[in-house]
């Protein structure tokens, strides 16, 4: 019985508990669809169904606009992808195209960034890309300084004007035991220093 109890304790030590709060946020993060409005330097892809020559990758220039075939100058800064789709659909419909189907998808948001700080090799600020995870962010900072870092990271984000702090079990994510966390624009990923317990 003692041996069984000891084994269970050791098993618990090897597999630290993950908070329900983290699991809820990890699930919720996949539902995050609106990274915000476009700014200067942001890039996105436009496709027009059946019109391959009209689509392509575009970036918002310093004037906040793009140049689109058959349409000309289009304001992109301050708009969402959905708003661009609607505008381009209306403008293309006024040309030779009938009932055009336009889709817009984000590539990279240089105007919206995430930060990685603490015990990483190269801390800094990085452009937000859709689908960016906490593991991706740590990799962008060239990994953790393993000699000084603890096994978890702290993600700070703004939600409805309120600051939320999420304890992220990075080691458990890396081992495939818990889901990865999708980051939001503006998130700060902090890798704390390892501290020995007294």
CA distance linking residue 21 with residue 126, whole number of Å:
26
Give me the pLDDT at residue 14, please.
43
Give me the pLDDT at residue 193, please.
80
User: CA 92, 93, 94, 98 torsion: positive or negative?
Assistant: positive
Give me the pLDDT at residue 10, please.
33
CA Rg, the chain, in Å? 22
What the chain holds in terms of domains, given with CATH numbers, is: 18-35+111-191 (3.10.560.10), 43-108 (3.30.1950.10)
Give me the pLDDT at residue 30, please.
63
CA distance linking residue 117 with residue 121, whole number of Å:
9
pLDDT beneath 50: ranges in the chain: 1-15, 196-198
| Contact by Cβ (8 Å): 84, 59 | no
CA distance linking residue 140 with residue 117, whole number of Å:
11
Give tens-digit pLDDT for 28-63.
766 555 667 899 999 999 999 999 899 999 999 999
Give me the pLDDT at residue 152, please.
83
Give me the pLDDT at residue 19, please.
81
Q: What is the pTM of this model?
A: 0.73
């Amino acid at each position: 019985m003692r041996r069984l109890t000891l084994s269970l304790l050791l098993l618990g030590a090897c597999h630290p508990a993950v908070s329900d709060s983290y699991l809820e946020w990890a699930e919720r993060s996949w539902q995050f669809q609106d990274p915000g409005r476009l700014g200067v330097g942001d890039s996105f892809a436009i496709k027009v169904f059946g019109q391959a020559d009209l689509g392509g990758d575009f970036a918002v220039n310093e004037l906040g606009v793009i140049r689109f075939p058959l349409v000309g100058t289009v304001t992109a800064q301050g708009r969402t992808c959905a708003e661009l789709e609607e505008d381009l659909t209306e403008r293309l419909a006024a040309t030779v195209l009938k009932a055009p189907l336009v889709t817009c998808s984000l590539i990279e948001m240089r105007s919206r960034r995430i930060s990685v700080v603490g015990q990483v090799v190269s801390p800094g600020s990085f452009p937000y890309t859709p689908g960016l995870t906490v593991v991706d962010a740590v990799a962008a900072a060239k990994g953790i300084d393993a000699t000084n870092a603890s096994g978890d990271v702290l993600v700070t984000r703004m939600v409805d004007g309120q600051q939320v702090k999420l304890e992220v079990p990075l080691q458990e994510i890396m081992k495939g035991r818990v889901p990865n966390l999708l980051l939001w624009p503006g998130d700060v990923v902090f890798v704390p220093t390892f501290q020995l317990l007294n």
